[in-house]
Amino acid sequence: MINRRSALKLAAAPALMAVARPGFAKEKITYAYLLDPAYDAVTWALSNGKVKSDTIEVEARGLAIPQLIQATSAKQYDVIMTAVIALPRAQERGLELRVLSTALQQSPGGEGGGIWVKSDSPIKNPAELKGKTLGSYALRSTGYTQVRLALIKKYGLNAALEGGDVKQVEIQAPNLPGALAAGQIDAATLIHSQAFRALKSGEFRTIAETGRDNIEVSGTRFISALNVSYPDKLAQRPDAFKEFDRMFRESVQYALAHKDEAFGAVGNKTNLPPEFFEWWFSKSSDVPGTFTDEHAKIIMKFYELSKEIGMIKSFPDVRTLVWDHALKA
């Protein structure tokens, strides 16, 4: 026979479970993004409880480009930041990806895609790179392909990776500034925080801002990276991924609305001044956090140009790869 105390415990159990369930029911979404202080600012609010959710928690981690590529193929994360040019290549290999949002787009300011030389270099213009050596963090990346498009379309160079006017070499991103300073290469493309540090050091200068050149030549602010996931993962937990999309976009908005807080916190960790983040968000890069028809048109134009210069053999209509619940606006 159940005594009064036991009966009270049983009666209270559903209420206790109802209170406890939200805390225990939160699903985890793992997210991998490009390892750079700029993107640490993008995800700061997401990772520090400033953007909240009752249903999911997001575990975000920065990875270097080679790790991102490997993790994408291995389906190691629920959501991963992937280069635009990787989508056709993934499809060729039978790896199905679905686009959740645009993660990185050229800013109207057109900076961040610079070609750098030493401050005392005689090279004044990219056309003078003929016969010289240009170093890149990843020769087959979307960002570097956009640099090559500017060299071809604006400056008239044969920028083929093999047998062109310019010798192009791949050097691990952290070693690029040192290789340029030591004279091992004549010019370099630097990424995000490297470009800002080069700008402030006085040791290097730009001979072109290829983002600005591409805007001038094609009228397009190219998109470099997308947040993607996998059809099976999306089918299993659609509501969790919808919530991730919302939180990601709000994380960007939080950073821009609370610059002192977000830029200061990330700057203290990375030894970068708030000025870097101001420059990156205002002159170098946009992080829309949505995927619109305009984004699709930009990517299709980039695919056409990439095929023209032999970077991809074929490409799908990117609209067919967009998740049904991706944020449109």
Q: 15-47 pLDDT, tens per residue?
A: 444 444 444 679 999 999 999 999 999 999 999
pLDDT digits 0-9 by tens, 157-210: 999 999 999 999 999 888 999 999 999 999 999 988 888 888 888 899 999 999
Phi, psi of 299 (to 5 degrees): -65, -40
Cα four-point dihedral sign 308, 309, 312, 317: negative
Domain ranges of the chain: 26-106+222-321, 114-218
**pLDDT number for residue 118:** 97
**Which fold does the domain 114-218 belong to in CATH?**
D-Maltodextrin-Binding Protein; domain 2 (3.40.190)
Average pLDDT over residues 124-136: 97
Cα 104 to the center of its chain, rounded Å: 5
List CB contacts of 134: < 8 A, sequence separation 6 or more.
115, 166, 167, 168, 169, 185, 186, 187, 188, 189
Contact at 8 Å (CB) between 226 and 82? yes
Cα 282 to the center of its chain, rounded Å: 16
Q: What is the pTM of this model?
A: 0.89
Q: Does residue 270 surpass a pLDDT of 70? A: yes
Q: Does residue 2 surpass a pLDDT of 90? A: no
Structure tokens at 165: 């006017």
Give the chain's largest Cα–Cα span.
Answer: 95
In whole angstroms, what is the distance from residue 46 CA to residue 197 CA? 26
* Residue 66 vs residues 72, 262, 295: alpha-carbon distances, Å: 10, 28, 25
Q: Does residue 11 surpass a pLDDT of 60? A: no
**pLDDT number for residue 9:** 43
In whole angstroms, what is the distance from residue 194 CA to residue 156 CA? 27
Contact at 8 Å (CB) between 296 and 318? yes
**Which fold does the domain 26-106+222-321 belong to in CATH?**
D-Maltodextrin-Binding Protein; domain 2 (3.40.190)
In what helix (H) or strand (E) does residue 14 lie, and over which residues does it extend?
Answer: helix 4-25
Same fold, 26-106+222-321 and 114-218: yes
Contact at 8 Å (CB) between 259 and 42? no
**pLDDT number for residue 24:** 61
pLDDT digits 0-9 by tens, 51-78: 999 999 999 999 988 899 999 999 999 9
Q: How confident is the model at residue 329 (pLDDT cuts 50, 70, 90)?
A: confident
Among 1-10, 119-128, 244-253, where is mean pLDDT lowest?
Answer: 1-10
List CB contacts of 180: < 8 A, sequence separation 6 or more.
116, 117, 118, 135, 187, 188, 204
Q: For 15-49, give one letter per residue: b (16+ CB within 10 A) or e.
A: eeeeeeeeeeeebebbbbbbbbbbbbbbbbbbeee
